[in-house]
């Protein structure tokens, strides 16, 4: 997984491009990282820089910056450039497009909690499943499970660190 933060900024851009060129994996992935940075970098330039990538991970805002579309339509448009395009939809789960079809995974309902790190956990679960030869739908579900586990664990840590009677 190459972070878009590396690609989309002038300092580490060369290292990100070198990572794309040198990678030896069946599932080379990039996370778009930031809609603002994608727009500043340029959509066509982003697509050119990531032409060797197999998997694109983007949240809804990043997918919209890249395609002008939302949800499933964005995933389908992006999957014309990548083997799998996955659009993370926050509380609504994620949608992925693969070989012209879309699949969606919805998380189990959680009370409103901090979601920082959930996207990274999703990417880890999703890519790990793909690397273990899971089909894309199973990988999507495993990514969602990893994100949910990260949210629940962070919530439990937060609650245990509160003074007694305040959480």
**Dihedral of CA 18/22/23/29: which sign?**
positive
Q: Percentage of residues in the chain with pLDDT exceeding 90?
A: 75
Structure confidence at residue 87 as a pLDDT band (50, 70, 90): very high
d(C-alpha 92, C-alpha 112), whole Å: 13
Residue 162 has pLDDT above 80, yes or no: no
65 backbone dihedrals φ, ψ, rounded to 5°: -65, -35
Q: Residue for token digits 């660190």?
A: 161
Structure confidence at residue 115 as a pLDDT band (50, 70, 90): confident
Residue 163 has pLDDT above 80, yes or no: no
Q: Where are the alpha helices (DSSP H) in 12-117?
A: 13-22, 35-41, 43-49, 60-67, 71-79
> Mean pLDDT, the chain, as a whole number?
91
Q: Percentage of residues in the chain with pLDDT exceeding 70?
A: 92
Residue 71 has pLDDT above 60, yes or no: yes
Structure confidence at residue 164 as a pLDDT band (50, 70, 90): low
Identify the pLDDT of residue 167.
52
Identify the pLDDT of residue 166.
54
Over range 34-38, report the average pLDDT.
97
Q: Tokens in use for 166?
A: 């305040």
Containing 158, the helix (H) or strand (E) segment is: helix 136-161
């Amino acid at each position: 997984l190459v972070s878009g933060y590396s690609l989309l900024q002038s300092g580490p851009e060369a290292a990100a491009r070198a990572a794309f060129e040198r990678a030896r994996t069946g599932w080379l992935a990039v996370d778009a990282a930031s809609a603002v940075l994608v727009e500043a970098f340029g959509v066509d330039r982003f697509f050119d820089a990531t032409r060797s990538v197999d998997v694109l991970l983007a949240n809804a805002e990043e997918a919209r910056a890249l395609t002008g579309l939302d949800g499933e339509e964005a995933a389908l448009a992006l999957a014309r450039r990548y083997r799998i395009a996955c659009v993370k939809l926050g509380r609504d789960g994620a949608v992925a497009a693969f070989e012209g079809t879309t699949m969606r995974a919805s998380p189990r309902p959680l009370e409103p909690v901090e979601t920082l790190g959930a996207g990274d956990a999703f990417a880890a679960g999703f890519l790990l499943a793909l690397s273990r030869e899971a089909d894309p739908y199973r990988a999507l579900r495993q990514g969602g499970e990893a994100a949910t586990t990260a949210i629940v664990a962070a919530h439990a840590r937060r609650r245990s660190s509160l003074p007694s009677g305040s959480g």
